Amino acid sequence: MREGLLKGKKGIIFGALNEKSIAWQVAIKAWEQGADLVLTNAPVAMRLGNIRDLAKMTGSEVIAADATKMEDIENLITESFRIFDGKFDFILHSIGMSPNVRKDIPYEQTSYENMLKTFDISALSFHRVLQTCYKLDAIKEWGSVVALSYVAAQRTLSGYNDMGDAKALLESIARSFGYIYGRDRKVRVNTVSQSPTATTAGSGIHGFESLIDFSERMSPLGNATAEECADYCVVLFSDLTRKVTMQNLFHDGGFSSMGMSLKAIEQYQKSFEECK
């Protein structure tokens, strides 16, 4: 019998594509802390990634679900009920995709089809999951739902494109549904705003290497890794954070509170010296 902070808890993890995925690390840490899991991802990700290896490692079942399709989400929640033999305790929403980012189409040149797709996959999917769980009363009292966000919801970062708008919407949905789910069922809903992390989705951002370097220099504690993000998510799924809800929680080594750091100034200075 595994011991730990999540002993006896059951949860659904969205978005583990491969070992680099933040969701992959969350699944491993949650399982190590005693949780039983259902893993899910889009049907196409089943072919492209290696979620089956993660399922084998953690003894979890995998259910394919396109997060933009209501019938897929309903099937996922109903099937999870069967697998868990009833209600479950936590959900990780770790889904992001922008056709503009993927095709390197600048923000000012987007088509509205693309933009709607970004919002549908990256933000409205969160509403869809919460609405379905609420309707089916799928989450236990004091359960916890976490979605992953980024500081581009509050501040403009070059290259992040329409994902900044999607993250702002995602965080707003966490507050709006967090109120309703807390009031009616005592379920918490939060977003974790993570440092830039070298994953498949992350690496698609224009100028991502520079963004990682910049935020590493700016953050007094340095960028947070996927493993560290997973530790934080585990705490948020646990009973140690029962009264934390409707929050956007920065997990970024201090980046979001910085204006300019010595390490960043030194790097900037070098470029002036090179010009001379």
Ligand X SMILES: NC(=O)c1ccc[n+]([C@@H]2O[C@H](COP(=O)([O-])OP(=O)(O)OC[C@H]3O[C@@H](n4cnc5c(N)ncnc54)[C@H](O)[C@@H]3O)[C@@H](O)[C@H]2O)c1
Sites of contact with ligand X (CB under 6 A): 15, 17, 20-23, 41-42, 45, 66-68, 94-97, 121, 148-150, 194, 196-197, 199-202
88 in Cβ contact with 10 (< 8 Å): yes
Task: Output the CA–CA distances (angstroms, integers) from residue 259 to 156, 167, 202, in the order listed.
Answer: 14, 21, 23
> Which residue number is nearest to ligand X in terms of Cβ?
202
Torsion of CA 251, 46, 187, 59, to 10 degrees: -100
- Distance, in Å, from the CA atom of 84 to the CA atom of 96, rounded to the nearest integer, reads 27
The residue count for the chain = 276
Of residues 152, 141, 42, 55, the one with CA closest to residue 101: 152
Q: Which is nearer to ligand X, 35 or 97 (CB)?
A: 97
- Distance, in Å, from the CA atom of 27 to the CA atom of 30, rounded to the nearest integer, reads 5
Q: Which is nearer to ligand X, 34 or 105 (CB)?
A: 105
Give me the least distance between CB of 30 and ligand X, in Å please: 15
Q: Which is nearer to ligand X, 5 or 22 (CB)?
A: 22
Q: Which is nearer to ligand X, 61 or 185 (CB)?
A: 61
